[in-house]
Amino acid sequence: MYPNIMADDEPRAKKSRTSILSDHIMSEKFQDIFRKHWSNQMSIKGPNMQIYAEPFRVAKISNFIASEEFMEEFKTELSDVLTKRIHNDLYQFEQTNDLVNFGSECLVTVHNTFSTEMVSWMESVTNIELDSTISMTSSCYYDGDYLLCHDDNMGDRRIAFILYLTRDWTKEDGGTLDIFDTDEKGLPRNIVHSIIPEYNSLVFFEVSDCSYHQVAEVTSAEFSRWTINGWFHGPKRVTHPPRPEIQYEFIEPIDSDEDLKYWIMESYLCAGIGESIRSDVERQSYAYLAQFFKEKIYAQLSKELLSSSIKWKRVGPPNLRNYEIADETSLSDILKDFLNIFKSLQFFTLLKKYTELDLVPNGENMKPRMSLELQRWSKGCYTLICDKPTEDGVAEEQGLADDQKPNININTESYDYVKPLKQNNDVVHITDESKGDKNIEKIPESIDLWTSHNDNNDEDKVLRSILKDKKPKVEKKLDESEEASCSKSEDYSTRSPPLNPDSEDSEVSDIGDYLSGSSKYSEDDEKSVTEPGTLDVIMHFHTSNVPDGETIDYVDPKEPDGALIHVTPEDNHLCLVYKVLSTCRFQKYINHYCEGYFYNLICTYYEK
Q: How confident is the model over 477-514, as pLDDT tens digits?
A: 333 333 222 233 333 222 223 333 333 333 444 433 33
The number of CA neighbours under 13 Å toward the Cβ of 407 is 28
Predicted pLDDT at 224: 98
If DSSP codes are grouped into helix, strand and coil, which group holds residue 233? strand
The number of CA neighbours under 13 Å toward the Cβ of 444 is 9
Q: Are 285 and 567 in contact (CB under 8 A)?
A: no
Amino acid at 245: E
Predicted pLDDT at 247: 85
Share in percent of the chain as helix, strand, coil (round to 5): 20, 25, 55
User: What pLDDT digit, counting tens, does each position of 185-218 carry?
Assistant: 999 999 999 999 999 999 999 999 999 999 999 9
pLDDT band at 561 (very low <50, low <70, confident <90, very high): low
Which of 337-341, 358-362, 407-411 is the most confident on average? 337-341
Vertex 405, ends 489 and 144: CA angle to 5°?
60
pLDDT band at 157 (very low <50, low <70, confident <90, very high): very high
Vertex 151, ends 150 and 154: CA angle to 5°?
120
Predicted pLDDT at 428: 58
Q: Are 221 and 160 in contact (CB under 8 A)?
A: no
**Across the chain, what does the average pLDDT equal?**
80
Q: Which has the minimum average pLDDT: 32-41, 203-212, 415-424? A: 415-424
Predicted pLDDT at 531: 65
Q: Are 397 and 104 in contact (CB under 8 A)?
A: no
pLDDT at 522 over 60: no
Task: Enumerate the CATH 2.60.120.620 domain ranges in the chain, comma separated.
Answer: 66-233, 260-400+412-483+543-606
pTM (predicted TM-score) = 0.79
Q: Comparing 519 with 561, which gets the higher pLDDT? A: 561
Predicted pLDDT at 497: 30
Residues 6+ apart with CB under 8 A from 517: 406, 407, 408, 486, 489, 491, 557, 560
Q: Comparing 478 with 537, which gets the higher pLDDT? A: 537
State the average pLDDT over residues 212-239.
Answer: 95
Predicted pLDDT at 480: 32
Rg (CA), the chain: 27
If DSSP codes are grouped into helix, strand and coil, which group holds residue 285? coil
For the domain made up of 260-400+412-483+543-606, give the CATH fold: Jelly Rolls (2.60.120)
Vertex 112, ends 63 and 137: CA angle to 5°?
75
Nearest to 189 by CA among 38, 327, 54: 54
User: What pLDDT digit, counting tens, does each position of 253-263 carry?
Assistant: 999 988 999 99
pLDDT band at 241 (very low <50, low <70, confident <90, very high): confident
Query: In this structure, are strands 428-430 and 565-567 parallel, antiparallel, or unpaired?
Result: parallel
Q: Choose the CATH number for 66-233 among 3.50.50.60, 3.40.50.300, 3.90.1150.10, 2.60.120.620.
A: 2.60.120.620
Nearest to 77 by CA among 18, 165, 204: 165
Residues 6+ apart with CB under 8 A from 10: 27, 28, 29
pLDDT at 374 over 60: yes
State the average pLDDT over residues 440-462.
Answer: 34
